[in-house]
């Protein structure tokens, strides 16, 4: 599973889950610079 974590501020963190890397990479481009893409099993 691919996960995008968006850090808007210390009290506002959003997490989005994706099944494919391609899907997650495309979504990552729509977020601000404060986003991290990670992979988990």
Express each pLDDT in 11-28 by its tens digit: 999 999 999 999 999 999
**What contacts 24+ positions apart, CB below 8 Å, involve 11-17?**
none
What pLDDT is stored for residue 18 in this prediction? 97
Strand segments (E) across the chain: 2-9, 12-18, 35-39
What pLDDT is stored for residue 30 in this prediction? 92
Q: What percent of the chain has pLDDT over 90?
A: 83
Confidence tier at 37 by pLDDT (50, 70, 90): very high
What pLDDT is stored for residue 40 in this prediction? 93
- Whole-model pTM: value is 0.86
CB 15 within 8 A of CB 33: no
DSSP bridge pairs for 29: none
Confidence tier at 32 by pLDDT (50, 70, 90): confident
């Amino acid at each position: 599973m691919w996960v995008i974590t968006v850090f808007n501020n210390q009290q506002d963190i959003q997490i989005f889950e994706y099944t494919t890397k391609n899907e997650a990479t495309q979504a990552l481009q729509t977020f601000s610079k404060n986003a991290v893409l990670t992979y988990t099993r």
